[in-house]
Homo-oligomer: A and B are copies of this chain.
Amino acid sequence: MDCESIQREIAATVRRTKEDCPFVPSITNSVTMELVANAQLAAGGSAAMVYLPDEGEGVAAAGESFYINLGTVMPFYAETLPRTVRALHEHRRRWVLDPVAIGIGSLRTELLRCFRAMPPAVVRGNASEIIALANLWGLDTGAAKGGVRGVDATDSVGAARPAAEALASFIDGAVAVSGEWDLVTDGTVTVRSEGGSPLFTKITGAGCSLGGVTAVYLAEASPFIAALTAVQAYNLAGTRAQREAKGPGSFRAAFLDALYRAKPGAIAENPFALI
């Protein structure tokens, strides 16, 4: 893969998504679920969030891809998530996992452990979450030992590269690491995407909604291209929103506007490089 062919695929993915409006359900974080849904709509998808086991199974089968974010685990997720992931597996639906706050609580850990046998097509997280998930699944991460503080990373994006590549190879999909720059890898090809805004860290749900938008693109592209398209769209829209914003409140609105308006070519041409 060279940069030009990647750019063509990104632009085609954005275009197809806006034409097809894929239905992409989620089981996700209640803090940020409104932003996830709004970002998915802005990118051209159709969103729905559910909680119950049979609803998870139903929308897993009905959706074109799926998003699972572990941000705020509720007691009934003990049944809902395994059943939903099993349904995704049976119906061969690809999904994105966002292992938010990995390490907090026993149910979260148990659920993440159980996903190993029926893994997602894409994992998206900050550097510490990616390292922690690779460690939890017993992958060789070059002995990195990630530190999560609540929902924040304490590791650099670069430090998570071995873990991200190991994880991508293991799931035979892609991994996106968010941070001061963004890394996307399929285990063999690894890309560095630039742009965005420091204000992304000042609004809750920037990462969660990136995961949700990745799931939307996953209905239309390979795991690697879906993950990279979402990262590129976020970096472009973040750069543009930053110019207009007076702070995090206006940034959030300007970001959704910019995501909605971003043209396929502009998303493809946001700066990135093979590393």
Residues of A at the B interface (CB closer than 8 Å) are: 23, 25, 30-35, 37-38, 41-42, 46-52, 54-55, 58-59, 62-63, 71-76, 101, 104-108, 149-152, 201-205, 245-250, 252-261
Contacts and interface: CB of A to CB of B under 8 A. Distances in A.
Given A37-B204, A46-B149, A52-B105, 7 more contacts: A38-B249, A42-B249, A46-B150, A50-B105, A202-B260, A246-B254, A247-B257
A72 B51 contact: yes
A81 to B, nearest CB: 13
A149 B20 CA distance: 13
B47 A151 contact: yes
Nearest to A251: B257
Contact of A74 (B51, B54, B62, B63): B51
B246 A41 contact: no
A129 to B, nearest CB: 13
A60 to B, nearest CB: 11
A95 to B, nearest CB: 16
A151 B108 CA distance: 28
30 contacts: A25-B150, A30-B33, A31-B33, A32-B34, A34-B34, A34-B205, A38-B248, A41-B202, A47-B150, A48-B101, A48-B150, A49-B71, A50-B104, A51-B73, A51-B74, A51-B75, A52-B75, A52-B107, A55-B105, A62-B150, A74-B74, A74-B76, A246-B254, A247-B256, A247-B257, A248-B256, A248-B257, A249-B252, A249-B256, A253-B253
Given A38-B203, A58-B105, A254-B249, A52 B73 contact: yes
Contact of A247 (B32, B35, B101, B261): B261
A51 B256 CA distance: 28
